[in-house]
Structure 1
Amino acid sequence: MRNINTGAGAVEVRKEGLEAQINRLAELIGRLENKTVWFDLHQRLTDTDGTTSASLYLIRKEMKVSQKQLGDFCEALKQYLKNVSAQRDCFHVTAVRLPDGLSFVVYEFWDGEEEWKRHLQTAACKAFQHVKVDTLCQPEAVSAVAVPAAWCSLNRD
């Protein structure tokens, strides 16, 4: 038995009963999330008006920066993220600084591979590429994959 203070007085609750309820609730939430994602994906894939893309192109760039060049890299990264997020064909862009403090991962979601390739020719992309040449201590690792657009939905109904 365990006492829980509810404000109206202490209530005794069996610990295993509470844990079982929490586990059951977590299971139900997981099922609901799976149904919502599947429905959203199914709806997007069967949309016939041609305005919804069935997939997005995810680019993952992992970079390790030289300690001496960290400040320059961070300033250039901020500017790059600002420029990319303003581009019409970029669904979303974000950067994560890893715990070592010198490694960064940038995730870019593009409407398609062709849109990303066009982006590679922009002045903002080329400028950031030049900064990376000067600031990275090892080659950048880039990977790309098509992901269902429904996974990236901003609609949280």
Structure 2
Amino acid sequence: MVSFYQDLKLEPLEEEVLEGNTSSHIVIVQRQLSVLIEELDEFRLALKHYVESASAQTGCLHVAIQKLSNESRFILYEFWESSNIWKNHLQSNYSKTFQRSNVDFLETPELMTTMLVPASWWVLNNN
């Protein structure tokens, strides 16, 4: 059996020169949420409202949800035009409401990571 990774062909390494700031980057946010089984239905409703509100915001490029099979664990990916836009989003009423509701819905505290990637990668892959 041939592994997926053995068939994977990556482009040759090319050095990309960027301007001296992060304005040419987008922010990817990954949120890992382990939900209490008994709170799953309520969590899904809160998540639906959060995703609908976030997706409608100027500066939100995309939101994706993955649920791990046989677990009550979700991974949420958010793509934002800039760090400032994402930070402003965190202060919005719908974001704060979702954060507060998670206190009751989650087994463990949410794990959140962020990463800056060149905006040109987003433009190239989404045209």
Q: Same fold (TM over 0.5)?
A: yes
Amino acid at match of 2:99: Q
Structure with higher Rg: it is 1
Q: Which stretch of structure 1 is more off in the superposition, 76-85 or 94-103?
A: 94-103
TM normalised by structure 2 equals: 0.79
The aligned amino acid for 2:24 is A
SS in 1 for 2:114: strand
Identity of aligned residues (%): 34
CA separation in 1, counterparts of 2:36 and 2:122? 32
SS in 1 for 2:108: coil
Equivalent residues in 2 for 1:59-98, closer than 5 Å = 59-98=29-68
Q: Whole-Å Cα distance in 1 between the matches of residues 89 and 24 of structure 2?
A: 21
Q: What aligned pairs does 1:1-157 form with structure 2 within 5 A after superposition?
A: 30=9, 34=11, 54-153=24-123, 154-155=126-127
In structure 1, C-alpha distance between the alignment counterparts of 2:107 and 2:122, rounded to whole Å: 32
TM superposition outliers: structure 1 runs of 4+ over 6 Å: none
Q: Deviations over 1:80-131 (max 9, x none)?
A: 1111110011111111111233000111111111111100110110111111
Residues matched between the structures, number: 114
The structure with more helix, counted as a fraction of residues = 1
2:91 corresponds to which letter in structure 1?
A: Q
Amino acid corresponding to residue 122 of structure 1 in structure 2: S
Q: CA RMSD in A?
A: 2.2
- Alpha-carbon deviations, 1:21-68, whole Å to 9, x = none? xxxxx78xx47xx48xx7xx88xx69xxxxxx5210111110100000
Q: Which has the higher contact order (CA 8 A, sep 6+)?
A: 2
Please give the secondary structure, in 2, of the residue aligned with 1:138. coil
Q: What amino acid maps onto 1:126 in structure 2?
A: K
Gaps of 5+ in 1: 1-25, 47-52
TM-score (structure 1 length as normaliser): 0.65
For 2:38 and 2:54, how far apart are their aligned partners in 1?
26
**Structure 2 alignment gaps of length 5 or more:** 1-6
